[in-house]
Amino acid sequence: MKLKIRNIVEIKVAKSDREFVGIKVLNNKVKITFPIGYRIKEEIIKIDNREKIKSIFNDVKLLMTTIEKFKSELYEAGNNEFNFSSAIFIIEDFIKNGLYNEQVNISKKNTSGKINWKKTILQMQPIFIKGNYLYIETYNYSIYGRQNKVTEIQKYCLSIISKTLGWLYNIHNSYIEYQYIEKKEMMYELITELNKTNEDRKKKLLEQMILFIDGTETSIIGNEEFEIGTLYFDKVWENILRKQIYSINKEIKCYPTTYYYIDKKIENSKLLPDITIQNQNNIIIIDAKYYSIGNLPESSDICKQLFYGQYIMHKNLKCKIKNIFILPQNLDEKITDNKFINIGYANAEHLTEKNRIYIYYIDVKSLLEGNLIMKELLEEIKSI
């Protein structure tokens, strides 16, 4: 494998909620865009500065595995499919262990190792000494590694991965020679090998190659320009918040609807709040807004949240309603020791204070890292 350092890596943070987030590669230029509010130090990095690349290595892995885990397939038409977490495993296994070798048990004559008595007795002539049969020559078990089709499949995976992520590992492979195998045959070979392999590391590698081939577009390898990421990070943002919150508190089903009455009642589609939970006598309604820094929810968003609050209040008269907007922000440690901050509230004219919708900024990097940030935030909301 040739090692050539020649890429330029540009790093930036998105400014717009409709800006692509992820990795774009064009020829030898790599552009990484982090989501709105993500804390990142560097702006432009050259790949030949390994210390700078190391400084963003974990950030890139965090970003891409998050997108892979939380993106909504309904919104992703047109983007390249790429199984990032499997790609990371495959290239890191290669760096550590080299190419895949199948271990094969064979029997060789007069070698070290355990004796294969069955083959020795059938094929070798013993001598008789002092009432005992003695085999001067024996067949012995010998384990050796040999490359097979799985190795070619591994090379194929590495050819894609080195092109897309080689800059991250200081590996640029101008060309990896491999024998192409059709996808169906690749999957068959990998599954067959997996079923007869007992070594844990190799089993894991085979499983990850299966996932990679199944979840990656083969057309990537022939393109000079491609992207791995999402245009819809707002859905990723919403899904992260929803999963983390619902892991702490159970969801409340709240689907109000509007209707017409023209000779008969005609209902519209049900409205779906982003996140609704109950904690003791508090019902918390959360709207996840992936907005550019400085932008706040519009009047239509405020009215919708107020409507949800009124609807739930009538259904749960004994509960206290807590209405929340959550927006992305880079909460530098110089600003606050917390990973979230309340900046104020929204309301509508002539409504009382109990209708307030509290606005919170939350640190994007801390949220992606899965810290205890959400548990702490919910505890603060309960005390409002």
Summarised one tens digit per residue, pLDDT across range 252-267 is: 888 888 889 998 989 9
Residues forming beta bridges with residue 109, ordered by sequence position? 139
Nearest to 8, CA basis, from 47, 41, 52, 57: 47
Average pLDDT across the chain, whole number: 82
Query: Helix 50-70 to helix 233-246 angle, to the nearest 10 degrees?
Result: 70
Residue 3: predicted pLDDT = 39
Report the pLDDT averaged over residues 146-155.
Answer: 83
Report the pLDDT averaged over residues 130-150.
Answer: 69
Nearest to 111, CA basis, from 81, 141, 132: 141
Confidence grade of residue 38 (pLDDT, cut at 50, 70, 90): very high
Look up tokens 């020649």; give the residue.
Answer: 6
Summarised one tens digit per residue, pLDDT across range 297-312 is: 999 999 999 999 888 8
Is residue 349 exposed (0-12), middle (13-18) or buried (19+ Cβ within 10 Å)?
A: exposed
Nearest to 233, CA basis, from 312, 290, 168, 153: 290
Report the pLDDT averaged over residues 161-189.
Answer: 79
Q: Assess whether pLDDT exceeds 70 at residue 230.
A: yes
Confidence grade of residue 192 (pLDDT, cut at 50, 70, 90): very high
Query: Helix 149-165 to helix 84-97 angle, to the nearest 10 degrees?
Result: 110
Q: Assess whether pLDDT exceeds 90 at residue 88.
A: yes
Rounded to two decimals, the pTM is 0.79
Report the pLDDT averaged over residues 321-347.
Answer: 85
Residue 124: predicted pLDDT = 75
Around 52, how many Cα atoms within 13 Å sit in the side-chain half-sphere? Answer: 15
Residue 57: predicted pLDDT = 86
Going along the chain from its start, the domains and CATH numbers come out as 8-99+148-230 (no CATH), 104-146 (no CATH), 233-382 (3.40.91)
Residue 257: predicted pLDDT = 86
